Amino acid sequence: MDPVTLPVLALLAGAGLQLVLAPWLSPLAKGRLAALAAALAFAAALALLPATMHGDVLTATLTPVWDADTAVTFRVDGLAALFTLMGTAAGTAILIFSIRYMADEPQGLTRFYTIMLVFVAGLLVLGSAADLLIAYVAWEVIGLCSYTLVGFWYRQKAAVDGARKVLVITHLAGYGFLVAIVLLQLRTGTLDWADPKLAAGFTTGVAALMIVSAMAKSVMFPLHTWIPEAMNAPTPVSALLHSACYVKAGVYLIARMYSIGPWTPELGGPLAIVASVTILVGVIFALKQTDLKRLLAFHTVSQLGYIVGGLAIGTAWGIAAGLFYTLSHALFKGTLFMVAGSVQHATGTRDLTRLGGLSSVMPWTTKIWIVAAAAIAGVPLTNGFVAKWLLFGAALDKGWLFLLAAGWIGSILTAFSFLKATVNVFYGAMPVELARAQARHELHEASPSMLIGMGLMAAGCVVFGLAPQLMMDAIVAPAVAGLGFTPDVATSWGGIATGRGAIGLTVGATLVAAALAMGWIVWRLADAPTRATVAVFTGGEPLPAGDRPGAVDFAGMAEDAFHPVYGVDPDPLWLGIWSRAGRVATGTRNAFAPLLERRPALLILLATLAVAATLALG
């Protein structure tokens, strides 16, 4: 067995065993089996790392012939290794979390674990496929896995509506990828990502088709509206979908396009503008939410804007920033979703207006949340800070101040949004219903396996925040090199850039830090007000009845502040097209039915005359 194919085979073997052994496995055993398969895949993926770090490209053929002359061949370079590691790491942590989380599910567990494993395997195949057609198959397989997992509770309207939206938006846009592949094959005769001939057919139009597909998968505005609707899935599904296996597929495609040839001169700028809009739209909509998972979903939209913005810059620095952000986002967003799931598991709700004061009941969950929330907000010493640091540097280096400004404003609003979520879930007074539940000892800390799952990913946020060079040198830099760029940016402890651009960024950061320190000194030396008597900073807003501003207050403030933005909803446009098509089809049929469906003899006669006339006229 070739080590290159081992991660995928481990996952598929796990999926197969789920099906075969289903009658004899308990719910917990099914979860453990799935987690074990993912852990084996992760170990196998780690084993590939030494080679890809040295710039080696590993190849292996899974099946010699599949379709036409296409073999299912894997080519693992730096970028493939990055996605393989990300998928298996996130998959392992989330499946460990799922063991206890899903154990009480009355039915469908075999289906759940089987599809989860295929889902991860799909991402690995997408990342490693040597051939465009195989990549497209993997692209659609993860789409189908997502569809079936989001619709896991298929008797619930909200769940299946969400699943439908996932399928329709991402699959329709995915035809862009397929058409691009067909055009490349016709023009160049090859489908091999690494074949130099491919560059000859890689026109701006082909690149644009691929980007549209990637935009839908990676929730770029205006194709982002499916993701908040997908929130009615089991939490492990949301965690996997948001962190690694679905939204990152589009990121992969955008990055992989650099393997074929440069496409950024024409399309990089527009894509960066889309990414900037996405950053802002995502976070502004997140501010409004009172459902914890919907809030996180809109943050995924915003965060993907950062990632795609980095990749659109088209320099080694920008790509390094985008890829570093990709991995970082997998860690903190996976953690956040699992915490949200733990909260729902413990309290039965994810409604921020019905939550509060959980830090006393769920102390470990609270700590894990705070780490991940700090990371997504870009607090120093977390991986999120390093990712933003790199991105801002790359945008400055390129001279794209709009991207920098969007990222900066987005970061502030992200911090604001997570302050709201943190306070509303974990601090302040506990709502009456929860307090009663606590009195009945119904509230509980997450189980050990759930804590391990989310704790592992949160630990990654800290480790790669303190020592980002581990991630940069071992995973990101080889991926950048694999795309044909010379990695000229490096990071050191805490995220200090040590490569190109280090001086500018470091001086800038020092100035900001000095200004903040001076401000604080002046504030202290002046007649500073006494400490607030309430636990929560309100930003000057009057406090509502109670001791803290609640989610509704924040949502109200956000609605007041960003009212025009909330009117930006592309869904009516898509629905309008569909309903208009329906009306046109019905109207046309009704108009022609008297001839086409009720007078067959006349129709045949007319058709005969038409065929005769057409052929006679040549």
Structure tokens at 36: 């074990």
- Which one of residues 36, 144, 466, 496 is an interface residue with other proteins (CB under 8 A)? 144
- Which one of residues 151, 318, 341, 453 is an interface residue with other proteins (CB under 8 A)? 151
Q: Which stretch binds other proteins (CB under 8 A): 35-43, 172-180, 305-313, 395-403?
A: 172-180
Nearer to other proteins, 111 or 444 (CB): 111
Q: Does position 544 bind other proteins by CB under 8 A?
A: no
For 473-534, the three-class secondary structure string (H helix, E strand, C coil) is HHHHHHHHHHCCCCCCCCECHHHCECCCCHHHHHHHHHHHHHHHHHHHHHHHHCCCCCCCCC
In angstroms, the CA 305 to CA 299 distance is 10
Contacts of 147 (CB under 8 A, 6+ apart): 163, 166, 167
Give the residue among 245, 317, 521, 558 at the shortest CA–CA distance from 420: 558
- Which one of residues 43, 103, 168, 496 is an interface residue with other proteins (CB under 8 A)? 168
- Which one of residues 155, 440, 524, 563 is an interface residue with other proteins (CB under 8 A)? 155
Q: Does position 67 bind other proteins by CB under 8 A?
A: yes
Q: Count the Cβ atoms, other than its own, within 10 Å of residue 402.
A: 16
Question: In angstroms, what is the minimal distance from the CB of 587 to other proteins?
Answer: 8
Nearer to other proteins, 233 or 279 (CB): 233
Nearer to other proteins, 144 or 200 (CB): 144
- C-alpha count within 13 angstroms, C-beta hemisphere, residue 308: 37
Q: Does position 161 bind other proteins by CB under 8 A?
A: yes
Dihedral-angle region of residue 131 (phi above 0 means left; psi in -120 to 50 means alpha; beta otherwise): beta
Question: In angstroms, what is the minimal distance from the CB of 601 to other proteins?
Answer: 7
Nearer to other proteins, 436 or 589 (CB): 589
- Which one of residues 56, 57, 103, 164 is an interface residue with other proteins (CB under 8 A)? 164
Residue 398: exposed, middle, or buried by beta-carbon count in 10 A (0-12, 13-18, 19+)?
A: buried
Question: In angstroms, what is the minimal distance from the CB of 614 to other proteins?
Answer: 5
In angstroms, the CA 82 to CA 208 distance is 24
In angstroms, the CA 497 to CA 385 distance is 12
- Which one of residues 172, 194, 381, 557 is an interface residue with other proteins (CB under 8 A)? 172
Q: Does position 186 bind other proteins by CB under 8 A?
A: yes
Q: Which stretch binds other proteins (CB under 8 A): 39-47, 151-159, 371-379, 503-511?
A: 151-159
In angstroms, the CA 468 to CA 35 distance is 27
Nearer to other proteins, 183 or 565 (CB): 183
Q: How many residues sit close enough to other proteins to count as binding (CB under 8 A)?
A: 55
Q: Of 546-605, which residues contact other proteins (CB under 8 A)?
A: 578, 581-582, 584-586, 588-590, 592, 596-598, 600-601, 603-604
Q: Does position 616 bind other proteins by CB under 8 A?
A: yes
Structure tokens at 413: 């609003």
Alpha carbon 341 to its chain's center = 17
CA triple 393-396-402, angle to 5 deg: 120
- Which one of residues 160, 208, 370, 405 is an interface residue with other proteins (CB under 8 A)? 160
Question: In angstroms, what is the minimal distance from the CB of 141 to other proteins?
Answer: 6
CA dihedral sign of residues 224, 230, 231, 235: negative
- Which one of residues 34, 102, 115, 181 is an interface residue with other proteins (CB under 8 A)? 181
- Which one of residues 24, 54, 68, 265 is an interface residue with other proteins (CB under 8 A)? 68
The one-letter amino acid at 145: C
- Which one of residues 136, 193, 485, 562 is an interface residue with other proteins (CB under 8 A)? 136
Q: Which stretch binds other proteins (CB under 8 A): 79-87, 134-142, 311-319, 498-506?
A: 134-142
Question: In angstroms, what is the minimal distance from the CB of 453 to other proteins?
Answer: 29
DSSP 411-472: HHHHHHHHHHHHHHHHSSPPPHHHHHHHHTT---PPPHHHHHHHHHHHHHHHHHHH-HHHHI
Question: In angstroms, what is the minimal distance from the CB of 608 to other proteins?
Answer: 6
Residue 22: exposed, middle, or buried by beta-carbon count in 10 A (0-12, 13-18, 19+)?
A: middle
- Which one of residues 157, 440, 524, 563 is an interface residue with other proteins (CB under 8 A)? 157
- Which one of residues 103, 182, 200, 565 is an interface residue with other proteins (CB under 8 A)? 182
DSSP 109-162: HHHHHHHHHHHHHHHHHHHHBSBHHHHHHHHHHHHHHHHHHHTSSTTSHHHHHH
Question: In angstroms, what is the minimal distance from the CB of 464 to other proteins?
Answer: 35
- Which one of residues 175, 493, 520, 537 is an interface residue with other proteins (CB under 8 A)? 175
Give the residue among 179, 297, 292 at the shortest CA–CA distance from 247: 297
Question: In angstroms, what is the minimal distance from the CB of 161 to other proteins?
Answer: 8
Q: Does position 612 bind other proteins by CB under 8 A?
A: yes
In DSSP terms, 59 is beta-bridged to 75
- Which one of residues 133, 295, 346, 467 is an interface residue with other proteins (CB under 8 A)? 133
In angstroms, the CA 281 to CA 563 distance is 12
Question: In angstroms, what is the minimal distance from the CB of 127 to other proteins?
Answer: 17
Nearer to other proteins, 519 or 600 (CB): 600
CA triple 236-242-247, angle to 5 deg: 135
Give the residue among 177, 167, 170, 185 at the shortest CA–CA distance from 208: 177
Nearer to other proteins, 150 or 292 (CB): 150
Nearer to other proteins, 191 or 394 (CB): 191
In angstroms, the CA 522 to CA 331 distance is 38
Q: Does position 65 bind other proteins by CB under 8 A?
A: yes
User: In this structure, are residues 299 and 415 in contact, taking their beta carbons and an 8 Å threshold?
Assistant: no
Q: How many residues does the chain have?
A: 618
In angstroms, the CA 532 to CA 574 distance is 49
Nearer to other proteins, 533 or 590 (CB): 590
Q: Does position 507 bind other proteins by CB under 8 A?
A: no
Nearer to other proteins, 26 or 156 (CB): 156
Which residues form the interface with other proteins (CB under 8 A)? 65-68, 133, 136-137, 140-141, 144, 151, 154-157, 160-161, 163-164, 167-168, 171-172, 175, 178-179, 181-183, 185-186, 578, 581-582, 584-586, 588-590, 592, 596-598, 600-601, 603-604, 607-608, 611-612, 614-616
